[in-house]
């Protein structure tokens, strides 16, 4: 539908929708909840919005032009943003202006002298102090590290995550203090990287007795609770949500997105409310799944359109 909808979390109804570019795939919200940036896959643009109040979002227009933008994130202060262009091997470093369109500050071209093929930045993450930018290369199984100095970023390290030449398929990345968590769908695991030493220190398998041994979970998107104690993972292969204990680095359980009344399948993104409830967008079945963060159980699956006969697949979700 090439649009972004605002959902009222009191009654779980759509308040209004705004137009985006073609095929919006990623959404980012600034820490102060004022700015929104949307990556549009098919036309290669970024849509920018300023949130004036609860029911009004001002469209600032679109900017940028590149092949296959796959991620967009803000820094922790909301003063900068970063866009990954998977098809071009680059990351755009943006300055976020007050109530205006972001402007480009620097273009980061990923370089790997040990590899003759094309590098492809896929997902991004930023350190708590905003001085280290991370990008996973989905196609080549590597983690690129950029360090900031004098207000510019320089590539400082490349970490090969394909240990012992084992094929990997990197899907998402999230930073939690001095640790980095990366989902690997082909091996159904979460990699844990030491952000200080830039080394893989752990690997958490998502295979369990709750899942048929012949079906791969295929973990994709990641979300961490505000107390940094739990990590939630969307499993595209099994339409479940994995719950991990970050203090023990262990799998706690899988939450099925199926219920007696309404099933959902193929989860695409996940976001956690301040009250602890978890919202999941789905590309099949009902549109949204809501999970209780208190007991890690599915509360309900809901649609986001008046007619059950037309339920468009949803992509990204972020809390305002």
The reported pLDDT for the residue numbered 154 is 97
Among residues 84, 81, 104, 69, which one has the least CA distance to residue 34? 81
Asked if residues 221 and 270 have their Cβ atoms less than 8 Å apart, the reply is yes
The reported pLDDT for the residue numbered 307 is 61
* Distance, CA of 288 to CA of 300 (rounded, Å): 8
Parts of the chain with a pLDDT under 70: 213, 306-310
The pTM of the full predicted model, rounded to 2 decimals, is 0.95
Quick: pLDDT tens for 82-117.
999 999 999 999 999 888 999 999 999 999 988 778
The reported pLDDT for the residue numbered 310 is 67
Asked if residues 121 and 144 have their Cβ atoms less than 8 Å apart, the reply is yes
The reported pLDDT for the residue numbered 11 is 85
Among residues 215, 134, 209, 214, which one has the least CA distance to residue 170? 134
Quick: pLDDT tens for 39-57.
999 999 999 999 988 788 9
The reported pLDDT for the residue numbered 264 is 86
Q: Please measure the distance between the N-terminal and C-terminal CA atoms of the chain and give it in whole angstroms.
A: 21
The reported pLDDT for the residue numbered 211 is 74
- Token code pair at residue 129: 């102090």
* Distance, CA of 143 to CA of 172 (rounded, Å): 11
Judging by beta carbons within 10 Å of its beta carbon (0-12, 13-18, 19+), is residue 290 exposed, middle or buried?
middle
The reported pLDDT for the residue numbered 285 is 76
The reported pLDDT for the residue numbered 309 is 60
Long-range contact set of residues 156-161: C-beta below 8 Å, sequence gap at least 24:
157/198, 158/112, 158/114, 159/193, 159/198, 159/199, 159/200, 161/136, 161/191, 161/193, 161/200
């Amino acid at each position: 539908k090439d649009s972004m909808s605002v959902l009222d979390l009191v009654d779980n109804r759509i308040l209004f929708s705004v137009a985006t570019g073609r095929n919006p795939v990623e959404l980012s919200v600034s820490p102060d909840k004022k700015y929104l940036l949307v990556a549009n896959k098919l036309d290669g643009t970024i849509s920018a919005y300023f949130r004036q109040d609860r029911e009004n979002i001002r469209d600032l227009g679109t900017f940028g032009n590149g092949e296959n933008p796959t991620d967009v994130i803000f820094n922790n202060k909301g003063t900068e943003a970063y866009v990954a262009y998977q098809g071009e091997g680059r990351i755009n470093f943006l300055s976020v202006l007050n109530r205006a369109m972001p402007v480009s500050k620097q273009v980061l071209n990923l370089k790997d002298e040990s590899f003759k093929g094309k590098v492809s930045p896929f997902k991004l993450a930023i350190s708590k102090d905003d001085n280290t930018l991370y990008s996973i290369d989905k196609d080549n199984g590597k983690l690129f590290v950029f360090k900031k100095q004098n207000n510019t970023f320089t590539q400082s390290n490349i970490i090969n995550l394909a240990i012992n030449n084992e094929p990997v398929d990197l899907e998402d990345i999230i930073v939690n203090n001095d640790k980095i968590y990366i989902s690997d769908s082909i091996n159904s695991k979460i990699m844990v990287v030491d952000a200080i030493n830039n080394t893989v220190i752990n690997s958490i398998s998502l295979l369990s007795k709750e899942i048929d041994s012949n079906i791969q979970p295929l973990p994709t998107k990641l979300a961490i609770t505000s107390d940094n104690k739990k990590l939630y993972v969307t499993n595209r292969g099994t339409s479940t949500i994995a719950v991990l204990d970050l203090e023990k680095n262990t799998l706690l359980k899988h939450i099925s997105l199926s219920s007696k009344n309404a099933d959902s399948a193929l989860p695409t993104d996940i976001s956690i409310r301040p009250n602890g409830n978890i919202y999941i967008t789905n590309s099949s079945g009902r549109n949204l799944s809501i999970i209780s963060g208190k007991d890690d159980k599915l509360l309900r699956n809901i649609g986001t359109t008046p007619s059950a006969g037309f339920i468009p697949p949803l992509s990204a979700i972020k809390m305002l």
